[in-house]
Structure 1
């Protein structure tokens, strides 16, 4: 007899009670996800995580006592350590880059939508990186400026990987390279968001990319993103 899968345990940290309530409602209706604790500041998040052992900690940035970015390292020092995903309104470059440098598994914007939040929690719990489409462009631009996107070995594989894509998938890949969200891509191509998600999944599979950022870098290497 197969053992039932344990629900993903989530801790919410946000100083706004209404935000916590809204996120909790979204996750409550997602199969296999349990919100096990809520914190109103970063220090409380660390304290509660030590007691409740969440798999994923969703943390805001601007909170009293200890902000979300300063809470990342203490959360990751716990045993077991949760996967930390920053969930915030503030997607500016310093916040994104600091969160990733501190070891966050992902960075989401609060306006990304319920399904994106649910998917992010599941992806983070599975060990994947999570990056909001709204901040993909920020990360890509920084990597291009630093030269991190100029890996010769990766560049050599770019043409072969992209040759596997259909014409429409190439169009979507180019828009990923521009940092567009699924909704923005759907609007531009006059197709449904669900169709965009299908194309993105096919792109990641065919190109061997594990994240949207990797696919976007591929688009930049080939000059597809304009």
Structure 2
């Protein structure tokens, strides 16, 4: 009975650690939140427990037979990649979700540590993961300005080019620029797709004010 309670505590510790990391991702409005991280940590701990203790009766009835207790747990490392890949979005020159995928991978490792009764390691890894997600962003966030894709339309090409020049001259770096003309019931509309990144100390959301200031601009998508 004591052993069963010990295993339950391992699952609870793993779930708690995963939830703490998931709350950070939830706060950042990411696709993988506290429920996903909770389940990843819990499942990883469960796989570790099954790998260690799930075959004791079988081994006891087969003298001389030995199994590698790490084989099931090892599959978590590769299997979590499928979940992580689902959080990554690649569109044109934009990549989203890499940090969340990495946090899921780290959470799986924390779950394995908790399942192996390594509570101190699991707790320390949780704190270090939060350190990487929040503290490093606080100090070095300016070095990793994110790229943003903007799709907007205007009734004429001159308005699109003017907005492009304003964005280029207002502390933004235009990484890619594409314009196409589309026919609509109201006439010809010029649709622009830009990938931009803020420079220096410029605020990343200032481009929204620039777009809204022009009544001829219609913002269709911001990624």
Q: Which has more radius of gyration? A: 2
Q: Which has the higher contact order (CA 8 A, sep 6+)?
A: 2
**Greater fraction of residues in helix:** 2
TM-score by length of 2: 0.29
**Greater fraction of residues in strand:** 2
TM-score by length of 1: 0.29
